Amino acid sequence: MFFSSLLDYLIGLSIEHSNNQSKRKALLIISVVVNIGLLSFFKYFNFFVDTCIAAFASVGINLGSNTLNIILPVGISFYTFQTLSYTIDIYRNEIQATRDAISYFAFVGFFPQLVAGPIERAKNLLPQFQQKRNFDFKFAKDGALQVLWGLFKKVAIADVIGQQTELILAGYEGMSASTLVYGIMLIGVQIYADFSSYSDIAIGVGKLFGFRIMKNFDYPLFAMNISDFFRRWHISLYAWFRDYVFFPLGGVRKRGWYLFRNVMIIFALTGLWHGADSAKFIVMGLIYGLMVWATISWQLKTKRRRKEKLSILPSPRQLLLMVWVFILYAIPCIFFISPDFESSLGYFYQIFEAEFWVMPNGLNKLLPVATLFIIDWLGKAKEHPLHIGHWPGILRWSFYYTLLFLILYLNDGGSPYIYFQF
């Protein structure tokens, strides 16, 4: 991390001080090549070596095993994109390079969001290190509440659901089709609760220190088309690819083949960002890419891009759309969470082979699922669901202490965050 940060700090200064466009572009290319090269080495070296060995073995040439025991640096997928965005924004003249090395390195290594995001931009976070901050009790209190909500989502929802999904994934070959379909739903909710909980905790801790970190999830489970879902999901990553890859390729301005190409490149890269040690991530990305491309194409053709307004309760049409989008999101999640690509395919194969009309196992896990949906729905118009200052004091504090009690009661040591592997 220190090398990448130092490199982009110096390159940023050099780009800003140069009026030679060729030199500026060359410096930017150095930054991109070195950063992506380091990321590729740590994340993909063994995968490419194994692929080459297997390819030669298929034609009778035995190369032997030359993989390395590479330890993945913590948060490399996140801080690499963070430092890259800094140099790219300077090259685009969107921000000025900073001479304040302490603020810059603090921006890159800011601990709340270092391990699993959000992937911050220098234009948002860096100036906050350079300005004077006074303790704001109201802001810090809101941060503590967001941390509480994040902890509840992790311990009382994601980890509780995870107990059942682990059993299903480990023994899917002997499960009924109904249990496997139920497992897909649970896995979709688990991944959302697990990942978004970390973002809530990171943002909340940032507020405790007086920093405003960008929002990373905007209630994606209430999206009514898959394109809108990914505008609400892992916002910092998809916004990064949108601004630095999708728009330069032409975005949605180019139709037909070019639109298909642009969308598929973005989602293939997103899958590759998650890992190349298995084809499962790339397949997952391509499946989502096809869904988003089909949705955008239909919207452009029919000119239906209006945003649905949600009231106290969703209309039957809105509810059906939400369920449909959740299904589209949840099915490829099997590729994400299975140990390898073959297991993912085996899971789907078993759905069509096993008996369906059998009561699924672990229906008690519907309680944490319902809890998440209800609380999220009630808070969908707010930054996070614990913005309940308008509630009567005794009711509000009872709710806080109930969440805290459930966190302590259900905590059994827990499991690591799913996105820590990236």
pLDDT of residue 131: 86
Name the CA dihedral angle for 308, 313, 319, 321, rounded to a multiple of 10 degrees. Answer: 10
> Residue 7 half-sphere exposure, CB side, CA atoms within 13 Å?
20
Mean pLDDT of 247-260: 84
Instruction: Provide the residue type at 177 as one letter.
Output: A
pLDDT of residue 370: 92
pLDDT of residue 42: 75
Mean pLDDT of 387-413: 88
Higher pLDDT, 330 or 365: 330
pLDDT of residue 80: 87
Q: State how far the Cα of 111 lies from the Cα of 115, in Å rounded to an integer.
A: 7
Give the least confident one: 202-206, 250-254, 287-291: 250-254
- Where helices occur in 331-410 by DSSP H, the ranges are 333-337, 341-353, 366-378, 393-410
Q: Tell me whether residue 274 is one of the annotated catalytic residues.
A: yes
Give the 3-state secondary structure of residue 322: helix
Mean pLDDT of 199-225: 93
pLDDT of residue 137: 92
Structure tokens at 343: 């297991």
Mean pLDDT of 264-288: 85
Smallest CA-to-CA distance from 365 within 170, 162, 169, 174 is with 162
pLDDT digit string, tens, across residues 7-54: 888 988 899 888 888 999 999 999 999 988 888 777 776 666 666 666
Q: What average pLDDT does the chain have?
A: 86
Higher pLDDT, 415 or 243: 243
Does residue 68 register a pLDDT over 60? no
Does residue 369 register a pLDDT over 60? yes
% of the chain exceeding 70 in pLDDT:
90
Among the listed residues 234, 274, 384, 387, the single catalytic one is 274
pLDDT of residue 203: 94
Q: 113 falls in which pLDDT band (50, 70, 90)?
A: confident
pLDDT of residue 325: 96
pLDDT of residue 276: 60
Does residue 263 register a pLDDT over 70? yes
% of the chain exceeding 90 in pLDDT:
45
Higher pLDDT, 413 or 314: 314
Q: Please state, as a whole number, how many other Cβ atoms lie within 10 Å of the Cβ of residue 53.
A: 17
pLDDT of residue 185: 95
Confirm if 278 and 341 have CB atoms less than 8 A apart.
yes
Confirm if 353 and 345 have CB atoms less than 8 A apart.
no
Confirm if 78 and 117 have CB atoms less than 8 A apart.
yes
